[in-house]
Homo-oligomer: A and B are copies of this chain.
Amino acid sequence: MSDPRVFRVPSGPVDLAAIPTDATPGFKGGKRDGKAALFAMGDELADLQERLFAEGRATGSRRRVLLVLQGMDTSGKGGTLKHTVGLVDPQGVRITSFKAPTDEERAHHFLWRIRRAVPEPGYLGVFDRSHYEDVLVARVDRLAEPDEIERRYDEINAFERELVDDGTVVVKCMLHISKSTQKERLLRRLDRPDKHWKYNPGDLSARAKWDAYQAAYARMLERTDTHDAPWYVVPSDRKWFRNLAVGQLLLETLREMDPQWPPADFDVDAERARLLAES
């Protein structure tokens, strides 16, 4: 798969309708090839992630990765966690799934609960939904005034700038699906008793506001795609491609960070001698 930075949101006004949901840019091949390619990247991804973890444990490095997953219902945030994030050692992963805020969370600034979930050095943190809900559902359902929403974009940019300054590489993915794909997936959830638990009648209310959500996503992309914390729009109608594309983004991110095994901060030969000298 070629450089996944082809998914970087274009600068300027964003027209999501013009970005295909079912394309497979940068990859020649079908479902079977895509699954094989994801599997094939597993070892390198796991190795790089373990090096980053080692660096965080054994050195004073503050580097870490934060992957933010956003998308409409059924866009595959959970599937990406399972199939892509699931490729690496779970010891080094911190997943936080953000639900509707609790009363306690609501009593605080919207970034309060987000800050508490920022991964520690060495970790791959993943946000399944995030602070972006506070400019998406909040905008669509008018849970906050337009002025407040505008302020939030700026606060988010400042917050992510802080994260980056503190050693976090921030990768933000919008899992982009079509309205008809969502319909298929919701019908499938209804057809399969083992998927009923994932279905919520409230999902149809959000679906009824599809266009308003797309507009809110577009505005979010325009206002919060920054050099420090870029947004990628990942065509997600094909699950295998979505998993592969997010995997490739993680892989390129880690390759660029190029974490190294920490050098020994002790005398290796002396330690070996101590061990071998045991009675």
A: residues with CB less than 8 A from B are 54, 57-58, 78, 81-82, 85-86, 89-91, 93, 95, 97, 128, 183, 186-187, 190, 193-194, 196-201, 204, 261-264, 266, 268, 271-272, 274-276, 278
Chain B residues whose CB sits within 8 angstroms of the CB of A268 once the complex forms: 190, 196
Partner of A196, one of B93, B199, B263: B263
Partner of A86, one of B89, B183, B193, B262: B89
**Assuming A82-B89, A90-B86, A90-B90, is B190 touching A58 (CB within 8 A)?**
no
Instruction: Decide: A81 and B86 in contact? CB cutoff 8 A.
Output: no
In Å, the complex CA distance between A194 and B261 comes to 5
Instruction: Decide: B271 and A199 in contact? CB cutoff 8 A.
Output: yes
Name the CB-closest residue of B to A261.
B194
Main secondary structure of the interface of A (DSSP, over half): helix
Chain B residues whose CB sits within 8 angstroms of the CB of A85 once the complex forms: 90
Instruction: Decide: A201 and B82 in contact? CB cutoff 8 A.
Output: no
Partner of A93, one of B90, B97, B194, B278: B90
CB distance from A83 to the nearest CB of B (A): 9
**Assuming A201-B271, A274-B204, A275-B190, is B264 touching A196 (CB within 8 A)?**
yes
Chain B residues whose CB sits within 8 angstroms of the CB of A200 once the complex forms: 266
CB distance from A112 to the nearest CB of B (A): 18
Given contacts A58-B197, A86-B90, A196-B264, 8 further A-B contacts (CB under 8 A): A54-B197, A58-B196, A81-B91, A90-B90, A91-B95, A190-B268, A197-B262, A199-B266
